[in-house]
Amino acid sequence: MPKATLHRMELPKYTCSYGIAARDLLRKEGFEIEEHILRSRPAVDDFKDKHHIATTPLIFIDGKKIGGFTELRAHLKASKRK
C-alpha cells in the first residue's frame, strides 16, 4: 500500500476544504495516510515558513514532496498513465 503524509489546516473556526479534499482523494486511491493537522495560526505560519509554501495542504508520497491538492491530483493522474 502506498504511503502519503498529509499536512492540513484545521483551526477552531476554519477547516481547509483543500486539505479535506486531499485526504479524501488519497483514501479513494488506496493510500495509507499519516495525517498531521495544524490547529493554530502560529503552527500554520511556522509550517508554511519551514516548507517555503504559501498555502496548505502539503502532501508527500513515499517521502517525495508533491505539493498541494492541485499538484496531488495532477500527480495521481500522471501516475495512472505510466
Residue 82: per-residue pLDDT: 62
pLDDT for res 81:
72
The count of structural domains within the chain is: 1
Q: What is the pLDDT of residue 39?
A: 97
Predicted local distance difference test score (pLDDT) of residue 80 = 82
Query: What is residue 79's predicted lDDT score, i.e. its pLDDT?
Result: 87
Which domain CATH number covers 9?
Answer: 3.40.30.10
Residue of 29, 43, 38 whose CA lies nearest to 72: 29
Long-range contacts, 24-30 (Cβ 8 Å, 24+): 25/69, 25/72, 25/73, 25/76, 26/59, 26/72, 29/2, 29/76, 30/1, 30/2
C-alpha cell at 74: 495532477
Identify any residues that bridge with 44 across adjacent strands, giving them in sequence order. Answer: none
Predicted TM-score (pTM) of this structure: 0.92
Q: Which domain holds residue 55?
A: 3-81
Question: What residues in the chain have per-residue pLDDT under 70?
Answer: 82
Looking at residue 40, what is its pLDDT? 97
